[in-house]
């Protein structure tokens, strides 16, 4: 997730995935005359009801949404809230199509200097990523969306991106950095991916996975809801980063958890044969930064979901026996999704920070597809064999 400047009560503050996850990165001691630490940001004295009210579609089923089969074993639903928020839900059924395979791609794995943890991330949006991945021999990508949290340096715009935690690609562990919150890891089998979440995973655990990444938030583990911290009481200070996490918590990220904006989240069934993903897209002309600004100033939340909404949504599928685990990954302005349609074209929902259109169909060459990438992408491909 990129960082962005926000204005809180006339005080300029920079927050984002880097700030949310780790606090200042690569910082050096300041001079003796350094300015004093700014006062903590506090919740408004009057909290707007939209902050805590459940979003309209944060439950399943969606009454007016009709399922469409986009590929063998893949079902898609689309619904729109009254406030203009759109919700794309996809279900990947590995029993219905055993050739489907869930993977993680990092731009760091095959850029000019692979695995140096410095990536020119912006040019490769989800369309460019799919085109790039389809040029190989591992099979066609049927869907891809933005992956886990990442950070970037501020020396230029949009800056160079880097991993915030170790990542596992094709069974190899990369980047011996500290881990944060939860790791999502999995092994692919003929019966589908075997996914699990590990709190503050160590390298020996990471070495057992085909694919993995840290920094995710764990919403539901083995059928049990994990704790999502409540919004601060009126006048109470927001937690200061970094916020320590425990195995009983989803993994708290101040501001990010309770502001309503675009979200990307996944869940899976108890037997691992079904993977679900949802992309929640806030209304046009809304942004993640503005949503957080509104949150701390007491203004109404105009659209999108917060982390409690995601947990409510997956809880409704848990009660119906459809899922058993759920995690939240990065989203906000970088949230994006593209999925294959019958006939071979792709429907692309672009990142909010890079495109004027809401969704558009592209041919597999993704000519003129918008940039504005993510460092990592989750994807489901159909293996060639």
Number of Cβ within 10 Å of residue 242's Cβ equals 16
State the Cα–Cα distance between residues 99 and 304, nearest whole angstrom.
34
State the Cα–Cα distance between residues 208 and 240, nearest whole angstrom.
34
**Residue 25: what pLDDT?**
35
Low-confidence ranges of the chain (pLDDT < 70): 1-39
**Residue 27: what pLDDT?**
32
What SS3 class is residue 283?
coil
What pLDDT digit, counting tens, does each position of 117-164 carry? 999 999 999 999 999 999 988 999 999 999 999 998 877 777 899 999
Q: How does DSSP assign 71-112, residue by residue?
A: ETTEEEEEEE-TTS-EEEEEEEETTT-TTEEEEEEEGGGSSS
As to burial, measured by CB atoms within 10 angstroms (0-12 exposed, 13-18 middle, 19+ buried), residue 5 is exposed
**Residue 53: what pLDDT?**
94
Q: Phi and psi for 101 in degrees, rounded to 5? A: -140, 135
**Residue 37: what pLDDT?**
53
Note the pTM of the prediction, 2 decimals. 0.90
As to burial, measured by CB atoms within 10 angstroms (0-12 exposed, 13-18 middle, 19+ buried), residue 153 is middle
**Residue 38: what pLDDT?**
60
What pLDDT digit, counting tens, does each position of 207-255 carry? 999 999 999 999 999 999 999 999 999 999 999 888 999 999 999 999 9
Identify the helix (H) or strand (E) that includes residue 328.
strand 325-328
Per DSSP, what are the bridge partners of residue 224? 221
Pairing of strands 224-225, 211-221: antiparallel
């Amino acid at each position: 997730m990129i960082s962005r400047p926000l204005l809180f009560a006339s005080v300029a503050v920079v927050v984002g995935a880097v700030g949310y996850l780790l606090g200042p990165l690569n910082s050096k001691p300041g001079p003796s005359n350094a300015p004093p630490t700014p006062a903590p940001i506090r919740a408004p004295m009057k909290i707007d009801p939209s902050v805590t009210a459940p979003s309209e579609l944060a439950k399943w089923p969606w009454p007016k949404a009709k399922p469409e089969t986009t590929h063998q074993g893949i079902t898609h639903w689309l619904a729109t809230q009254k406030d203009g928020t759109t919700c794309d839900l996809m279900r990947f059924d590995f029993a219905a199509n055993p050739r489907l395979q869930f993977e993680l791609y990092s731009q760091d794995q095959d850029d000019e200097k692979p695995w140096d943890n410095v990536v020119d991330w912006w040019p490769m949006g989800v369309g460019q990523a799919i085109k790039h991945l389809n040029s190989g021999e591992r099979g066609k990508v049927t869907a891809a969306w933005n992956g886990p949290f990442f950070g970037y340096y501020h020396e230029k715009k949009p800056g160079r991106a880097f991993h915030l935690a170790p990542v596992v690609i094709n069974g190899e562990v990369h980047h011996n950095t500290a881990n944060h919150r939860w790791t999502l890891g999995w092994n692919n089998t003929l019966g589908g991916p075997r996914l699990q979440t590990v709190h503050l995973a160590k390298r020996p655990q990471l070495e057992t996975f085909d694919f993995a990444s840290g920094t995710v938030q764990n919403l539901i583990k083995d059928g049990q809801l994990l704790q999502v911290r409540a919004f601060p009481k009126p006048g109470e200070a927001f937690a200061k980063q970094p916020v320590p996490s425990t195995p009983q918590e989803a993994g708290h990220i101040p501001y990010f958890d309770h502001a309503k904006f675009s979200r990307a989240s996944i869940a899976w069934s108890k037997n691992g044969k079904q993977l679900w993903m949802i992309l929640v897209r806030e209304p046009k002309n809304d942004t993640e930064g503005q949503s957080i600004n509104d949150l701390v100033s007491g203004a109404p939340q105009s659209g999108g979901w917060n982390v409690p909404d995601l947990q409510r949504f997956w809880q409704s599928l848990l009660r119906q026996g459809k899922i058993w685990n759920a995690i939240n990954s990065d989203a906000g302005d970088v949230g994006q999704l593209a999925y294959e349609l019958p006939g071979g074209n792709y429907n692309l929902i672009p990142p909010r920070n890079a495109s004027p259109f809401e969704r558009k169909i592209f041919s597999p060459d993704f000519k003129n597809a918008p940039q504005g990438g993510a460092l990592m992408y989750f994807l489901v491909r159909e293996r060639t064999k």
